[in-house]
Amino acid sequence: MTTMTDATRTEAAAPTTGGGEPRWFVHNLIRVLVDGDETGGRSALTEVIGAPGDMPPLHVHHRDDETFIVLEGTVRVWIGDREAVAGPGEAVFAPRGVPHAYRVEPGAPARIYVASAPAGFERFVLEASVPAAAPGLPPPDIEVDPARLAEIAGRYGIEILGPPGMLP
């Protein structure tokens, strides 16, 4: 019988790259919870907090699948010609190669876990974000350079297809 030692538990719980550091990513507060370095590149997990109405640009991941796991709030997700609304405890799968976008529904911020497989999305997040200068969401007037975001995304197999509000 194999048992997990205390040393193994401590190592598995050690902070990953990004260390869960709160970062401002586009108009969201985001933390990398599990980095691809920890999983041998198999997967990664990020936590995203978005304000009501927040909607990232329409995009497609060419290298990884994403699963959106809603912890708080409500999120509407468009994946190709499919639309889903997910609330706390629900999840939506977005396969690679299919354009998608989501919107945080009115009422309250949403807290979402985004699982990606294989890893890579978390590297994009770290490169395209900045450490949060204050607790909470970034100011609504934070500037986002769409060309820079698209250029960084491209390095990670993510193609920006249109501005926020555009649907597949």
* Confidence band for 144, pLDDT divided at 50, 70 and 90: confident
User: Is the residue at 67 inside a domain?
Assistant: yes
Q: What is the pLDDT of residues 6-16, one digit of tens each?
A: 333 334 444 44
For residue 73, being part of any structural domain is answered with yes
Give the separation between CA 125 and CA 59, rounded to whole angstroms: 14
- Mean pLDDT (the chain) is 89
Predicted confidence band of residue 31 (pLDDT cuts 50, 70, 90): very high
166: left (phi over 0), alpha (psi -120 to 50) or beta: beta
Q: Give the C-alpha separation, 4 to 24, whole Å.
A: 36
> Per-residue confidence at 165, pLDDT binned at 50, 70, 90?
confident
Instruction: CATH number of the domain at 23, please.
Output: 2.60.120.10
User: Is residue 35 included in any domain, yes or no?
Assistant: yes
CA-nearest of 18, 15, 13, 12 to 124 is: 18
Average pLDDT, stretch 84-111? 97
Domain contains 24: yes
Give the pLDDT score at 143. Answer: 86
CA distance 149 to 159: 10
The per-residue pLDDT for 19 is: 60
Mean pLDDT, residues 8-27: 62
Name the band, by pLDDT with cuts 50, 70 and 90, for residue 57: very high
5 belongs to a structural domain? no
Residue 85 has pLDDT above 60, yes or no: yes
pTM: 0.86
Task: Give the integer Cα–Cα distance in Å for 35 and 43.
Answer: 8
Q: Average pLDDT in the 22-32 region?
A: 95
**Structural domain total, the chain:** 1
Domain limits for position 100: 17-132+144-164
Q: Is 11 a member of any domain? A: no
pLDDT-derived band at 141 (thresholds 50, 70, 90) equals: confident
Domain contains 3: no
Q: What is the pLDDT of residue 163?
A: 84
Residue 1 in any domain: the answer is no
